[in-house]
Amino acid sequence: MVRECWPEFLNNRDARIEIKSHQVAIEKRTTFTLPASVLNQAEEIAKDPHITLSTAVSEVLQDGSAALRRTRKSEEVLASYRQAFSGFTEEERFLLDGIQLEPELAA
């Protein structure tokens, strides 16, 4: 969407023109087999008059794919931390975490 603001711009140097690019979606037709329960769930989503069955399946796959990527990234980060801290004793890891092993003495 383009927001026309030229007259504002003449009066206000802080005015902005917003331009958003449009991505062209490339569609590919294919056939695949779904379990009946999954198809029923997709058809339930597609009961909305603005959502087709293809859109419902596509959005669920995209959401699932994003969740899978986040999970994999989390596992990679955790594995990196485990490797980085594997040489430390439990007490040293507590110190690195800032956990006090002994109570502070009153001043």
Q: Convert the pLDDT of each residue in 56-96 to its tens digit.
A: 998 999 999 999 999 999 999 999 988 888 888 888 887 87
CA distance 78 to 84: 10
Q: What is the pTM of this model?
A: 0.51
Residue 106 has a pLDDT of: 64
Residue 30 has a pLDDT of: 83
Domain boundaries, position 75: 36-100
Q: Is 66 among the domain residues?
A: yes
Q: Is 90 among the domain residues?
A: yes
| Domains identified in the chain, total number | 1
Q: Is 25 among the domain residues?
A: no
Q: Which amino acid is at 19?
A: I
Q: Is 82 among the domain residues?
A: yes
Q: Is 31 among the domain residues?
A: no
Task: Tell me how far CA of residue 34 lies from CA of 3, 14, 16, 57, in angstroms.
Answer: 44, 54, 48, 10
Q: Rg for the chain (alpha carbons), in Å?
A: 27
Q: Which amino acid is at 15?
A: A
Q: Is 17 among the domain residues?
A: no
